[in-house]
Structure 1
Amino acid sequence: MFEIVVTLCLMAEPDICRPQLAPGLETDTRAECEAVVSGDTIRNRGTVADGLVLGEKHCQTMADGLELTEIADNVFVHLGRIAEADPANRGDVSNAGVIIGETSIAVIDTGGSRAVGEALYRAIRQRSPLPISHVILTHVHPDHIFGASVFAETGARVVGHPGLSRALLDREQSYLTGFEDLIGKRGFLGTRPALPEPAPQEIDLGGRILTLNVWPAAHTTTDLTVLDSATGTLFAGDLVFHQHMPALDGSLTGWLHVLELLPELKPSRIVPGHGGPVLTMEEALTPMRRYLGVLEADTRQALKNGERLGDAVKHVAHSEAEAWELFELFNTRNATEAYTELEWE
């Protein structure tokens, strides 16, 4: 299979460039690919963001995509790195899912940059020619959403929590700036958000029904899960972390409540937003309940003792430090969020 890549450069710094995939224009032969390149399809395809310029276009054999592991029948997971986004991983720091039905494909989360989304797209195309009908975003955080534009360009519907679009618009510039700083200009080139529409309750991929559940404020205020009825696989997004330190950006008490509700979905297996990639219910919930419970108990004790925020965050939940990777990166913020929430109960 052959694909088309277009050189994308910064207008102000023309030596900073990246080969960008033109998704949806794959061909079986090089001759067909060259015919597309020489035609008007590329020139008429979408717009280029301000400050960027398109350069040379050429055909090449389809590049390797992300590694996908089949965890159930036609259900695949890409395991993101347990790390902060950086130039080496280009924002490939969260899990992504692919579910293939009889007539179409759904993608669940898309990585932290367009480059990661392109690699995910290639991995799917190497497995199936079916149309990608839906991209389902489990919440607002940039490491899960910034690859979505790749799929939107091919006609996929991007969907999520009813409040996701508003939340993304509110945070868009800070997310773009923050992730570009972490990944670097070259690796982040071409990345832009794809605004989602409210998700339906069900998506039919042809002989395969996905059930989408919207949750009250928990990990964030925009959490959504996806249950594949055919295999009982639950994509929990960041309602469940494994090994990777949980990050609180919604409601501590709400998150604990949602974790009590998840078993009611009766999944056979759970895919967390980070780590895993496949967990039993006990493996998914026990560490999460323990950490969030300690966070709550320590915070309440600090408030009872009359501690100021700056003193409380130095010790709240520190007994959990050895249980999680990236603890120092996230726990202070978690303690701050918990203190602020519980202080005003």
Structure 2
Amino acid sequence: MIHPTRRSVLKTGAFFTCCCLGQFSLARAQSAGRVALPVTEFEDGVFAFSGIPEMMSANNRGEICNVGFIVGEEAVAVVDSGGSVAEGRALIASIRAVSDKPIRYLINTHMHPDHIFGNAAFEDTGATVVGHQSLPRALASRGDYYLRSFRESLGASLMADVKIIPPTKLIAGEETLDLGKRQLTLKAWKPAHTDNDLTVFDQQSQALFTGDLCFIDHLPTMDGSLRGWMEQLETLKTINAKLAVPGHGPVPSKWPEALEVERRYFETLARDIRKSIADGVPMAEAVKTAAQSERPNWRLFDEYNERNATAAFAELEWE
């Protein structure tokens, strides 16, 4: 799999070469004293940044997930703020390089730090923070832990301005946000990657921001329910999207083909864990061998697979 660079995407079918920001627009952002995050406009008014498939660290500034924004006739909506306030500010600079319209919404797709640590950058924009109805509870439960645990990996400088900022507009089922002749459909999902996953579908371009319900290249990480995630893949694939921005992976990605590598991993993991349970293999041993056939297909496999297998074992042994 060829991963798009931070300057362009490759012309392959629906994929096309595109400068991230015009020189004049980039100069506008930099003249304001801010370095813009390199984004790609892959559909008219739909921009995304492709994160690095690594663990969050000071070296990558926490810029490991995909973030983006959508420009309507009246306003802008941002999808996730990134892994640091510095990234959030760079994302705002990217927006200002192409549009002076107000940032009306900051949509958080779920609770994980790489997606929400940049929220504080948007405090002065007037943006309404939007999230799943369960996101405030999740942040109240884990927020302090996230702030403590990432201080070492990101460093004091990057963490200095990070705050846990919960959403004030909550999505329970499906709801439409209007950007001015451009409508976004937000959908809250049952427990899958987390128990607070949210997707964003732009009706005009048919572009889908999946949050971490879709991983490509970077091994999926489980903080919700394996069975729930697998069951909801069927519903996800019925979304009539043309292209997708996965939480991690190439921007853009074909849809619904983007889900297939993830589906294969989940099916392999579930099959191996169920066999171990049936054979009476203890959890401590089962998690070391589960889904090992998938190792060549993923980055960060060693960092996350055993954790996924442990969660899967705990869930599946009671089915």
User: TM-score w.r.t. structure 1 length?
Assistant: 0.81
- Does 2:233 align with 1:259? yes
**Stretches of structure 2 lacking an aligned partner (at least 5 in a row):** 1-27
Cα deviation, residue 97, structure 1: 1.3
Q: What does residue 335 of structure 1 align with? A: 309
Q: 2:97 aligns with which of 120, 126, 130?
A: 126
Give the C-alpha shift of residue 153 in structure 1.
2.5
- One-letter amino acid of the structure 2 residue matched with residue 107 of structure 1: V
Give the distance between the partners of 1:215 and 1:340, measured in 2 at CA. Answer: 22
- Matched AA of 2:53: I
- Alignment-mate amino acid for residue 333 of structure 1: R
Does 1:107 pair with 2:78? yes
For the residues of structure 1 that align with 2:44 and 2:85, how far apart are their CA atoms? 28
Q: Is contact 1:152-1:158 (8 Å) kept?
A: no
**Cα displacement string for residues 30-59 of structure 1 (whole angstroms, at most 9, x for unaligned residues):** xxxxxxxxxxxxxxxxxxxxxxxxxxxxx9
CA offsets per residue over residues 93-120 of structure 1, 9 Å max, x none?
A: 1000110000000000111111111111
Residues 237 and 256, structure 2, Cα contact 8 Å, conserved in 1:
no
Structure 2 equivalent of residue 55 of structure 1: none
- What are the residue-to-residue correspondences of 1:266-285 with 2, within 5 Å? 266-285=240-259
Measure, in 2, the Cα distance between the counterparts of 1:62 and 1:230: 33
Shift of residue 282, structure 1, vs aligned partner: 4.3
Cα distance in 2 for partners of 1:325, 1:178 equals 22
C-alpha distance in structure 2 between counterparts of 1:202 and 1:60, whole Å? 36
CA distance in 2, matches of 1:61, 1:270: 32
Quote the offset at 1:125 in angstroms. Answer: 0.9
After TM superposition, give the deviation of residue 60 of structure 1 in Å. 6.8
Confirm or deny that 1:69 pairs with 2:40.
Answer: yes
Residue identity opposite 1:123 in structure 2: S
CA distance in structure 2 between the partners assigned to 1:136 and 1:313 by the alignment: 35
Contiguous gaps of at least 5 residues in structure 1: 1-28, 30-58
Equivalent residue for 2:109? 138
Alignment-derived partner of residue 292 in structure 2: 318
Equivalent residue number for residue 79 of structure 1: 50
Percent of residue pairs identical: 44
The separation in 1 between residues aligned to 2:56 and 2:237, in whole angstroms, is: 31
Helix, strand or coil for the counterpart of 1:153? helix
2:283 is matched with: 309
Q: Which amino acid aligns with 1:149?
A: A
Instruction: Please report how far the alpha carbon of residue 126 of structure 1 lies from its aligned counterpart in structure 2 after TM superposition.
Output: 1.1
Question: What is residue 131 of structure 2 aligned with on the other side?
Answer: 160
Secondary structure at the aligned position of 2:289 is classed as coil
Partner of 1:237, secondary structure, is strand
Structure 2 residue 210 is matched with structure 1 residue 239 = no
| SS of aligned partner of 1:230 | coil
Corresponding residue number in structure 2 for 1:49: none
- Contact 1:213 1:224 survives alignment (8 Å): yes
- Give the aligned partner of residue 185 of structure 1: 156
Deviation at 1:257, TM superposition (A): 0.9
Contact conserved, 1:152 with 1:194, CA < 8 A, in 2? no
The counterpart of 1:228, out of the listed 202, 205, 221, is 202
- Do the aligned residues in 1 keep the contact of 2:83 with 2:118 (CA within 8 Å)? yes
Is the partner of 1:201 in helix, strand or coil? Answer: strand
Q: CA deviation at 1:316?
A: 0.3
Contact 1:112/1:147 (<8 A) preserved: yes
1:19 alignment counterpart: none
Give yes or no for contact 2:108–2:116 (8 Å, CA) kept in 1.
yes
Give the residue type in structure 2 aligned to 1:184: G
Shift of 1:186: 1.3
Cα shift at 1:344: 1.6
User: Aligned-pair distance for 1:275?
Assistant: 0.9
The SS at the match of 1:219 is coil
1:15-30 to structure 2, matched below 5 A, reads none
TM-score, scaled relative to structure 2: 0.88
Structure 1 counterpart of 2:104, one-letter code = S
The amino acid of 1:225's aligned partner reads T
